[in-house]
Structure 1
Amino acid sequence: MITLQQDADGFVRMNRHFPAKTPIVIRFTDGTTGEYTGARLNELYDAALATFRAENRLDAKGFSRSPAKTVHPTHNVEFVPVQSGMAP
């Protein structure tokens, strides 16, 4: 079992996929907890990654098609938005 803590901005730190059947407990800032599977959090991670890539003009694999001078040294996300009461 993995336990994650939601930060004050509404995110959990997640920089990789978890095994699909692993139970993950999230402690929310409002004091509640929720239990989710790795597959559900992987879906949230993929959605956050797609949003990040779209906002930074990256293609589906995370490559920049713009000139070489970029501001971001990496093309990954580390924080995934979560909220209390989301679907398991």
Structure 2
Amino acid sequence: MKCPHCKNNIGFFSKALNGFGKERKCPHCGKKVTMKINWKMLTIILPLAFLFHFFILKPVLIVAGFSGSGVAGFSGALAAILSFRLYSDEPE
């Protein structure tokens, strides 16, 4: 993810984005950011994630000896995580 202010990379699982406080700040520039789902990106990624699930992931798990029934949630969660983007939370 990139900061909307300074364009530096911030890890999705970084302490700056996943702290317990309501206020999230960029660790590089210190400005407020908010993390939201980009719905346009989600509509693009979600069908691709389900195609990945049904045609690649599930068959591989079945060949490996697993049932493959509990992996649909993983594919959906991966699509949601990939669609998150950072937006500015600073007043104009």
| TM-score after normalising by structure 2 | 0.31
More strand by share: 1
| TM-score after normalising by structure 1 | 0.32
